[in-house]
Amino acid sequence: MTPKITGLRVRAAVVPRPRPLIFHTAKFTRSPLLLLDLETDAGVTGCAYLFCYHDEAVAPLVSMTRNMEPLLKGMELAPLAINHKIWSSFRYLGMQGIAAMVLSVIDMAAWDALAKSAGLPLARLLGGAVKPLATYDSTGLGGPESVAREARELADAGFGTIKIKLGYASIDDDLAVIRAIGAEVPGMKLMVDYNMRLSNVEAAVRMAALEPEGLLWIEEPLDSGDLDGHAILARDFRTPIQMGENWWNVQDMARAVKAQATDCVMLDIGRIGGVTGWLQCAALAEAHGLPLSSHFFPEISAQMMCVTPTAHWLEFLEWASPILTEPVSATKGVLVPSSKPGSGAEWDEAAVARYEIAI
């Protein structure tokens, strides 16, 4: 008999980060998280979390997720049907922002519960095999000395590839960071992320200057909605353009692909519609021959990369490790996903109690 949903338990926690991550607009020294337990009448509980980015976003995300319980209570544990029902209920609100994140976390929890009920890791439930994945870690801003020091720490931890934030005051400042890393860790491979900071003219200037650096990709130099601008950059420069972490659904990806705005794609499972949305996008990536990488959520993203035909790079960023019973880890730049039933997220309840906040 198929399990049925009996309730949603939604909590919030603020968890310390192992390393600060500095963006242009924020410095993340801790992770504001939403924790979801999707409970069933079979005694199986699906677990998933969201990284909420800002403290101010936690309360509305928690509230909207809790409000989904009457809609879902009594439904069979059928993730595709659950996803469709939530999507339909949000149709007039629009499937982006908080609505998309709520859909995503419930979808992830539903798939986790289904995999646990089948006694399989999520990758195997979806028809794949658990296998080693090429992994990189990410650094923030901070200037040449700080970023080079962090690159050395990551190299000592076994990473041969890292992603760095750029978008300093000038291209000379950007190049100084790249050169400092090269001097500190010769041979370190780099991706760079501008986090949508540049104008169209400045993006062209900086990409031209970065061409000789052999970067694996340049991520979102322009606003994520500027598909025409990204298409021009993708056409005019050899260094691949990377987009996707700010897509809310497969329709967003389809528009970017049609515009030829990106050479490779990156999915954030906490935004794209969870496991269901990822599978839709992975099929589209395969159809167009686009390498697909992950953004955040290394535990469940690792499971998904195992069933992604064009799997490229797994991003290793530890947002929730302090509250997980078995956090994933990377060795020499390779991560092997959990082979236990589910998606890889299981709470250390003692740690959750230590970091939980009342909402």
Identify the active-site residue in 116, 163, 165, 230: 165
Distance of CA 121 to the CA centre of its chain: 19
CA distance 55 to 179: 35
45 Ramachandran zone, left/alpha/beta (phi>0; psi -120 to 50): beta
CA distance 336 to 135: 10
CA distance 110 to 277: 13
Q: In the annotation, is 165 catalytic? A: yes
Strands laid side by side in the 356-357 sheet? 45-51, 27-40, 5-22, 356-357
Q: In the annotation, is 340 catalytic? A: no
Identify the active-site residue in 116, 163, 230, 295: 295
Burial 294-331 (b: 16+ CB within 10 A, else e): bbbbbbbbbbbbbbbebbbbbbbbbbbbbbbeebbebe
Q: Which residues are catalytic?
A: 165, 295
